[in-house]
Structures are given as C-alpha cells and as structure tokens.
Structure 1
Amino acid sequence: MATLQTAKKELRSKLRKILSELSKESISVQSSIATRNLLSLPEYEAAKRLSVYLSMPSGEISTAAVVHDAFSKGKQVYVPYLHKTDPSATATQGRSSVMEMLALRSLEDYELLQADKWGIPSLDADSIASRKNCLGGYGVAGTAQPDSTSTGAEVETEAEGSGLDLIVVPGVAFDEQLRRLGHGKGYYDHYINRLTNKRNVEGNATMQKPYLVALALGEQLLPPNEKIPVAGHDWPVDALVIGDGRILTSTS
C-alpha cells in the first residue's frame, strides 16, 4: 500500500508541475472543445439530474459553460460540498470529512457563489440546510427541511426521485484505460460507493451507478505506455472527454 500511495503522490506532483505551466489561453481553448463534446454525449443529453464539479481558476477544464447549459435545458444541477463528520460512524468508513452533492437552485444562484481559498465557487454554509441533497432530503444529513424562505420550486417531491444520472468528475491525471487519479482525498470514490450501496428498508439497492464522465486537459492524459496506479476501491470513469477533441469511452 505504501508503494501505491507513493506512486500516486509522485504522479500528482509531476502533473501539477506540468499543469501549473499551462497558459490561460490553452486552458480556455481546451475547455471550449471539451465542453462542446461533453454536451454532445447521449448520456449527457438524457441526464435529468447531474452533478458537476466547480472548477478551479487554473489547471483543469472549466465547467462554467456546462452549468449554464444544464440550466438552459432544465436539468437539475448538483455540486460537491465537503463537510466534517464523525469518523467513528459506520457510514463514513473512518473518514473525518465527506462529500455531499447539493442542489444549485438556479443559474443566478450559481453566479452568486463566492470563491473559496482555492478560487473555486462554493456554497454558502448558511444555505446548506435548505439545499436539496441528491440522496434525498435536504442538507448534509439528507434530513433537514427547507427553511421558510424556500419557494415551492425548491421543494423536492417524491416524483422527482433521488440519485444522479451523470457525474462530471475532476481529476489530476487519467490513462487510456479510463483510470483516474484524483487529488488524494478519495471523496469521489467514497461518494460513488455510498450512492451505489444506498438501500431501502428491505435491503434492496435504491440507486443505479451514474454515468461517470471526466473532463481532461490534453496534458492530463498519460502516454499510452503509462498507467494510473489504482487500488480496488478506485472507480474508473465511463468516458473521458479531452481538451484536444478526443473522447474515450468504455465501449470504444
């Protein structure tokens, strides 16, 4: 395990150096190409409920245009929110913090988000309890109720269901076998496991695995002879949309 973690750490360090040297112009051009190809995927077009990572100002494909497009097509958009939790709880598997997917209410709501210390647009902590959780309910525990200022449009009904059809995931590096190297905290792998293992009182699975799409700058794809070091709990993606115009899928 130490060898695997060391290999991942070294690869992250190598890629972060490469990405730090990319120009804003290159990232902008690649973001436009990758976004256009993502929006053309049948799985994206069919998705009614999707989650989108909110991008850093540099070093990765921008997702701003994806959020705009999703709202223009009437999709429900959820974004990551990290919060502290009880590491002794069984559901959190000893983790001190976990990720939830909480709803953006509108395009205006998205555009009013303030950047965190990494420059990533982030949800206001005061709004969390009234935001829909894609696993059901509201807030980080999925049990809170919307506050008195919530509108009828924000109240989720049973007919709307829960879960996600598609997740746009970030990453530091990828390979041609669709393996993904994350930022090292395991938030997405843990979240996908939670989502796919969610069960009802009868013990039956209640959610299907969403389609996983990664957006990558050309520089984030390893050469054909190199592979991402992975463990058994690391989820590969179903499609990799690259800023150089290529789309790699699990069926291609």
Structure 2
Amino acid sequence: MNKRELRKKILNIRNNMNKEDVVEKSKIIMQKIINTEAYKKSNTIFIYMDFKNEVITSFLINQMISENKSVMIPYTDVENINIIPVEIHNLEQDLKRCSFGYLEPKKELITPVDLKIIDLIIVPGVVFDRKLNRIGFGKGYYDRILSKKRSDTKAIAIAYEFQVLNEIPHEEHDIKMDMIVTEEKIYN
C-alpha cells in the first residue's frame, strides 16, 4: 500500500473507535509518557491538541501545567504551511477552535519561540512502523518542526497499537521518531 492508502485505511479505523476506548487507551499512553526519562528531564514540551479520536493529550497537558513545565501548543499558519509553537498556561482560557475544528492557541498569544528551547516534542501521526518511521497527514508540518529541533530534543510519537505496522513506505527526508508509545508497547 502507498502512503495515501495506508493513511485512509488507518484513519477509518481510528475514526470508528468508540469514545470509551479512546479515553481508556489515551490514559494508559499518557501514564507511560509521564514515566519516560525524556518526560521527567524536560522543562519545555511541544504537544499537539488531539482531534477526531487521536490519542487525547489534555490529560498530559494538565499534568504538565501542574508540574510547572512550559507547554507549547501548535498554531497552524496555513498560509505558510507552518506550525508555530505557542506557550499556553491554561487549557480553557488560552485556546479557541479554529476553522478546521481543532483547538489552537488564541492569536493574541502568538509570540515567536526559539525551537531550541524545546526539550521534548509529542508528535501526532496516522501510521507508524516498528523502525520508528511516521506517516502524518501529508502536509509536512511536523517534518519541518522536527528538522529544526536540537539534536538532544526527543521526538516521541503517541498512537494506538493498531497504528503501528511492521513497515511503512518512507522517504529520505522523513524524520524518524525517537520513540513511539502505544497503550500496549513502547518502541524505541
């Protein structure tokens, strides 16, 4: 299967998950993240806001805020096909729903952040493989961010076990994850 077909197949499965499974598996995944060395050592974390049955990130974001970690959420600059990390302090007050339907930081909070301050990036994706390759939504937003991170900044993908296949198509410019955390396993 090519990337487009794999993306469609896995998204279909994910979109049809029931809410209880999403919540239960997300909590397991978030607990595993909290127990990683990368999380424990990090002060500034870039993490996405979940959308359409993605692994729920709000549990972890609230945990990070309570631990006084700096939390960066992506703002999507659609014109320049770019995501901008924006620091937030409160999930309820600092976010608004964008035209695509997901939550992102309010425009007035956008101030340029040097990617070099980020210690950990929690990466979304559609399909992964055991060799830590990733297929996203096909626009390259995260590839651009990952290509500019510090060499010691960890990129941890979170996904459900069914999203991790033995092998997926990948290209030279695709950036591998340092780790993939699912409800069943940690791949690294």
TM-score by length of 1: 0.70
Q: Larger % of strand: which? A: 2
Residue of structure 2 equivalent to 1:238: 178
The match for 1:62 among 56, 60, 74 is 56
Distance in 2 (alpha carbons) for counterparts of 1:80 and 1:209: 20
Partner Cα distance (2:156, 2:163) in 1: 15
Q: TM-score, normalising length from structure 2?
A: 0.92
Q: Report what 2:97 is aligned to.
A: 115
Distance 1:209 1:8 in 2: 29
Aligned to 1:187: 141
The AA in structure 2 aligned to 1:82 is: T
In the alignment, residue 216 of structure 1 is paired with which amino acid? A
C-alpha contact (below 8 Å) 1:168/1:212 kept by paired residues: yes
- In structure 2, the partner of 1:7 is 2
Question: What is the Cα-based RMSD across aligned positions, in Å?
Answer: 1.7
Check whether the contact 1:192–1:209 (CA below 8 A) recurs between aligned residues: no
How far residue 127 of structure 1 moved from its aligned partner, in angstroms, is 3.0
Letter of the 2:123 partner, please give it: V
Query: Paired residue for 1:126?
Result: 108
Whole-Å separation in 2 of the counterparts to 1:236 and 1:21: 27
Structure 1 stretches of at least 4 aligned residues deviating more than 6 Å after TM superposition? none
Work out the percentage of aligned pairs sharing the same amino acid: 28
What does residue range 185-224 of structure 1 map to in structure 2 within 5 Å? 185-193=139-147, 195-196=148-149, 207-222=150-165, 224=166
Q: Matched residue of 2:177: which SS?
A: coil
What is the CA–CA distance in structure 2 between the aligned matches of 1:234 and 1:32, rounded to whole Å? 29
Is there any run of 5+ residues in structure 1 with no aligned partner, and where?
1-5, 86-95, 137-161, 197-206
Match of 1:171 among 125, 132, 156: 125
Offset from partner CA, 1:42-97 (integer Å, 9 cap, x none):
110100111001111x3210000111111111111111112155xxxxxxxxxx42
1:136-175 equivalences in 2 (<5 Å)? 162-175=116-129
Structure 1 Cα separation of the partners of residues 172 and 26 of structure 2: 31
Structure 2 regions of 5+ residues with no counterpart?
none
CA distance in 2, matches of 1:116, 1:243: 29
Mark the structure with the bigger radius of gyration.
Answer: 1
- Count of aligned pairs: 187
